[in-house]
Amino acid sequence: MANSSNEKSVHLKTNNFQRVRELSRKQQGVLSLALLERMKPNYQLFAQVTEFPQDYNLDNIVNSLWEKLLVKGAKVNFSILEEKIESLTPDELDFDMYGVYPAIYFCTGLLTYINGELSEDEYDSVAIAKISQGCIVHLIEYQAGETELDNESIREHELMAAEMSVLTELLDWLSITRLKDLDLKAIRTKALDIVFADGVTNIGIELEG
């Protein structure tokens, strides 16, 4: 039975990544930004707790990425956004707390998304999904301490199971939705409804309010 469950988990993950690759470029962008939105509160909590300097408005940066993706004629200077995000990225050596890592994963995700928009060679349709899952794996292993975990234990962890469920639901929605029939607000609202249906981030942090 364990082997059957393990094979099912592997198949689901592989199948989901294949489904992402089969989406249109715009659909892939919506999925990636939705997953980044699910990670964003991790960063915001870290910045709030540590009073990490916010030289730029993070929400404005994310808003710009949505607009560039979905609003015809929207202009965004990705190189400038890249510089802003780099300045907002903490250095793990400066903080003796776990929260710095999810913050770094989020910033890495933003930079990866932007790099993909800047260069076709850097574009990877499943990159953001992998970064979000990597953030979860890091937490699971951190909490396990000295205990060694096999891949099956990680895949069956409740946080990873929830991540797979969110990814599947995003894919199901995108596969039957004509994005060109919806405006930015409608698309973003639906995407956020899906990723925050449980009221938590990818690593289980509850949303404020």
What confidence category does residue 46 fall into, taking pLDDT thresholds of 50, 70 and 90? very high
CA distance 5 to 11: 10
* CA distance from start to end of the chain: 41
Mean of the per-residue pLDDT values for the chain? 92
Residue 181 in this model has a pLDDT that exceeds 60: yes
* pLDDT at 1 > cutoff 90: no
The stretch 130-137 carries a mean pLDDT of 97
Distance CA 128, CA 7 (A): 24
| Residue 2 pLDDT > 90 | no
Distance from C-alpha of 36 to C-alpha of 12, rounded to nearest angstrom: 21
Q: What is the pLDDT of residue 12?
A: 55
- Rounded to whole angstroms, the Cα distance separating 33 from 106 reads 11
pLDDT digits (tens, 9 = 90+) for 89-114: 999 999 999 999 999 999 999 999 99
At residue 5 the predicted structure's pLDDT band, cuts being 50, 70 and 90, is very low
User: Whole-prediction pTM value?
Assistant: 0.92
Whether residue 10 has pLDDT greater than 60: no
What is the per-residue pLDDT for 119? Answer: 87
What's at 169, amino acid-wise? E
State the average pLDDT over residues 17-28: 96
Give the 3-state DSSP-derived string for the chain, with helices as H, strands as E and coil as C.
CHHHHHHHHHHHHHHHHHHHHHCCHHHHHHHHHHHHHHHHHHHHHHHHHHCCCCCCCHHHHHHHHHHHHHCCCCCCCHHHHHHHHHHHCCCHHHCCCCCHHHHHHHHHHHHHHHHHHHCHHHCCCCHHHHHHHHHHHHHHHHHHCCCCCCHHHHHCCHHHHHHHHHHHHHHHHHHHCCHHHCCHHHHHHHHHHHHCCCCECCCCCECCC
Residue 6: per-residue pLDDT: 47
Examine the pLDDT at 3 and tell me if it is beyond 90. no
The interaxial angle of helices 100-118 and 58-70, nearest 10 deg, is 30
pLDDT of residue 122: 83
Task: Write down the pLDDT at residue 13.
Answer: 59
Q: Which domains does the chain have, with CATH numbers?
A: 27-195 (1.20.1590.10)
Q: How confident is the model at residue 14 (pLDDT cuts 50, 70, 90)?
A: low
Looking at residue 101, its pLDDT comes to 98
Handedness of CA 91, 92, 98, 103 (dihedral sign): positive
- Taking the C-alpha atoms of residue 38 and residue 142, their distance in angstroms, rounded to an integer, is 20
For residue 53, pLDDT beyond 50: yes
